[in-house]
Amino acid sequence: MRKKLQDKMFEVSYLIELAISVIVGIAIVVLGIRLVLDTISVSMNLSGVDALVKILDDAIILAIGAELIKMLCKHTPETVIEVLAFALARQLIVGHAKPWENLVTVLAIAILFGIRRFLLIRQDMVETPDGLVEIEDKQEVNN
């Protein structure tokens, strides 16, 4: 009985995640179209740098939304790290932080890349002297 209830709850939570992914996807498409239209109007109303910052901010938020969809659909540590890296990159690129805050953000991004490189297990990847290589068949490595 308990196992069946757990399985049902898992299915319900999976469907909720899919529904959220669809809603976020629709929002990204609509806001992506709006970004194109706003790019024209913002560039006419604001100076060059302000317009670029506004456009970059909106574009990076849409990219974070797309990564969020991947994270909801594909539950892997790599997708979580990618979402966090995009969010930190947004803060670094668009934010107006103090130099020490930028340094902390850069260090956080470096730590995320280190985690992705050295701590995540990739089942379809094999490390060679040239770096990580994707393989079709595990026996290819032995030859």
Cα 88 to chain centroid, rounded: 10
Q: What is the pLDDT of residues 75-131, one digit of tens each?
A: 788 888 988 998 898 888 887 788 999 999 999 999 999 998 888 776 555 556 565
Distances (CA, A) of 66 to 60, 61, 87, 90, 127: 10, 9, 12, 14, 29
Full-model pTM: 0.69
Q: Where are the domains of the chain?
A: 2-136
Q: What is the pLDDT of residues 51-65, one digit of tens each?
A: 788 888 889 899 999
Of 133 and 57, which is predicted with more confidence?
Answer: 57
